[in-house]
Amino acid sequence: MTGLRAAVCVAALAATTALADWGQAESADFMLDTTVPEPCAVALVAGVLWLARRGARQRALPALLPVLCAAVAARHALAAPPVVSNVTALQRPGPLAIVDIHYDLHDADGDTQSVYVAVSTNSPPPFTRFYNIAATNFTGDYGTGVTTGQQKHIEWRAYADVAFPSSSTMRVRVMANDDAQPDQYMVIDVSLGPSATSYPVTYLSSQPVLSEEYRVSNILLRLIPAGTFVMGSPASELGRLADETSHTVTLTKAFYISVYEITQGQYLKVSGANPSYYKQGTHMLQRPVESVSWNDIRAGTWPNGNPNANTFIGRLRTRTGLACDLPTEAQWEYACRAGATNALHNDTNITNINSDANLALLGRYSGNGGASPAADPTNRAHTAVGSYQCNRWGLYDMHGNVDEWCLDWYASSLGNATDPTGPSSGTMRVIRGGGFYSRARYARSAKRLYSGPEDQQNGGGFRLAIPAE
């Protein structure tokens, strides 16, 4: 009897353990004026920043060397999510644009936190707010090892991140995550390009500052714990379709999934080509790659088969030694929901099948600029990855931006399963997440799409998944 109770306890623990969620909160809007009255001050600041960045690059070179890593065990510590609150941001008086950011940080477990800041401009309708300012010049209670407490302080040297001159309405988002998990993130460095014979792979205990490199030259993946969830949608969910029958799925193995959709820059680094239809704009390489078929991405067979060696995923496997692949449909929905049970990953439901304010916070879709005419064509279609709010596992663009290929053959009905891999054969592969052109009902967590594996669509992309073992 004792052994039975122990087994039940172990099973229950495996089903409930989870990595800590992200805690996040935003400031109110504030005005930022980076117009510097003295030209010499601009030159001085630029010179100092150049020297500082040059030194930082030199110091960082050893970190780019390959690191020998042991096999990753599926370690999932029980952890309460941190809470970020009372975020304020205000520009400091003076000749340079320096912003003081204050926030409160609480964690029931007392763990130190990894804290970073996303910066947004206040975009006019019909576009939503984009956290697309490449801001990195922060000091204070920022980065890894931040202790909890009230009135934590971050100093943002905005003059170093925002072009001169600039006067606009801004907002900041402060995000925090536990430092406790030693292998919570995986980084694949693809900066050596398509001719490289190998790509360095490293592991991090917390999410790094999400600078441009993680959208172009590095692929950042988050460890997702094993667990059980209800896949599909309830009959009462607005926008629900017939193939979304609710059923229980258990995933017995942890896996990594990319924080962002694979971008044009990353695809170019690995394959040497950029097949995307939408290539315009200053942030082209940070936009998701599209116009790629399932066969372009991995080809081969699934289930029980390997990708073609000459595809994007085949090349990654060869150069990393990892079992890189697309996520299964079940892995995709589990990662998207991050514990949410309602239609969207922020645990809200849509209130209109076409245009929805809740969805507008989470991704680019037809109702916030994806399919709307615009004076500036670079604002049409998809946008730079990470421009909207992430889910509680720190994953971006799970709703909208581009559709995402999954491994599975499509089946019109699904039932309770453990580690499902989809039908053994079929004609259509599963697509998830909705795209920039989608109406609200087609970007829900449970919405299932499908297409032929040879189809190339300018709204279709993907993200990467890798087993944790």
Residue 430 lies in a domain: yes
Give the pLDDT score at 380. 61
- Residue-level pLDDT at 48: 35
Predicted TM-score of the model (pTM) = 0.74
113 pLDDT band, cuts 50/70/90, is confident
Domain membership of residue 3 (yes or no) is no
Residue 41 predicted with pLDDT over 90: no
Based on the fold, state whether residues 283 and 174 are members of the same structural domain. Answer: no
Domain holding 434, by residue range, is 185-467
Higher pLDDT, 305 or 248: 248
Task: Report the pLDDT averaged over residues 228-239.
Answer: 97
Do 221 and 236 lie in one domain? The reply is yes
| Domain end among 178, 195, 213 | 178
β-strands 218-224, 255-258 pairing: antiparallel
Looking up tokens 């304020």 gives 88
Residue 203's DSSP bridge partners are: 186
Per residue in 320-333, pLDDT (tens digit) is: 999 999 999 999 99
> From CA 380, how far away is CA 384, in angstroms rounded?
11
Specify which of 7-11, 40-44, 122-126, 173-177 reaches the highest per-range mean pLDDT.
173-177
pLDDT band at 287 (very low <50, low <70, confident <90, very high): very high
pLDDT of amino acid 260: 98
The two three-digit tokens of residue 32, written as one number: 């930022």
Residue 378 resides in a domain: yes
Model pLDDT for residues 158-196, shown as the tens digit of each residue: 888 887 556 778 888 898 877 667 789 999 999 999 999
10 near 72, Cβ under 8 Å? no
Boundary of a domain, candidates 161, 178, 195: 178
Q: What integer pLDDT is reported at residue 358 of this predicted model?
A: 92
pLDDT in tens, 383-413: 999 989 899 899 999 999 999 999 999 999 9
Q: Is residue 2 part of a domain?
A: no
Q: What is the CATH number of the domain that holds 210?
A: 3.90.1580.10
Overall domain count for the chain: 2
Average pLDDT, the chain: 83
Co-location of 83 and 201 in the same domain: no
Residue 360 lies in a domain: yes
Count of C-beta atoms within a 10 Å radius of residue 243: 16
pLDDT higher at 84 or 76: 84
pLDDT of 1 higher than 50: no
Closest by Cα among 157, 146, 147, 19 to 75: 19
Q: What pLDDT sits at residue 285?
A: 94
DSSP per-residue string spanning 153-205: EEEEEGGGTSPSS-EEEEEEEEEEEES--TTSEEEEE-TT-TT-S---EEEES
* Position 8 in a domain: no
Check whether the bond before 303 is cis (ω within 30° of 0). Answer: yes
The mean pLDDT of 9-13, rounded to a whole number, is: 33
Q: Are residues 141 and 190 in the same domain?
A: no
Do 276 and 354 lie in one domain? The reply is yes
Same domain, 236 and 312: yes
Is 341 a domain residue? yes
Residue 202 and residue 301 in one domain: yes
Strand (E) or helix (H) holding 106: strand 98-106
- Specify whether 379 is located in the same domain as 462: yes
Examine the domain organization and report whether 166 and 282 are in the same domain: no
In the prediction, which pLDDT does 91 show?
92
pLDDT reading at 447 higher than 50:
yes
> Which of 124, 154, 178 finishes a domain?
178
CA–CA separation, 156 and 137 (whole Å): 6
pLDDT tens digits, 249-279:
999 999 999 999 999 999 999 999 999 999 8
| Higher-confidence position of 269 and 30 | 269
Rounded Cα distance, 217 and 193, in Å: 8
Q: Are the beta carbons of 290 and 261 closer than 8 angstroms?
A: no
Same-domain pairing of 367 and 245: yes
Beta pairing class for 138-140 and 149-157: antiparallel
Both 221 and 295 in one domain: the answer is: yes
Taking only the tens place, the pLDDT of each residue in 414-439 is 999 999 999 999 999 999 999 999 99
In whole angstroms, give the CA distance from residue 354 to residue 344: 14
Q: Which residue has the tokens 């809470």?
A: 83
Q: Which long-range contacts (CB under 8 A, 24 or more apart) does 300-303 make?
A: 302/407, 302/408, 302/409, 302/421, 302/422, 303/407, 303/421, 303/422, 303/424
Q: Residue 170, Cα to own-chain centre: how many angstroms? A: 22
pLDDT of 69 reads 32
Residues 277, 162 within the same domain: no
Sheet arrangement for strand 98-106: 83-92, 98-106, 149-157, 138-140
More confident residue, 189 or 110: 189
User: Has residue 5 been placed in a domain?
Assistant: no
| Per-residue pLDDT reduced to its tens digit, 60-73 | 333 433 332 333 33
Read off the pLDDT of each residue in 443-464 and give the average, rounded to a whole number: 97
Instruction: Determine how many CB atoms are found less than 10 A away from the CB of residue 205.
Output: 17
Pull the structure tokens for residue 16. Answer: 């409930």
**What is residue 109's predicted lDDT score, i.e. its pLDDT?**
80
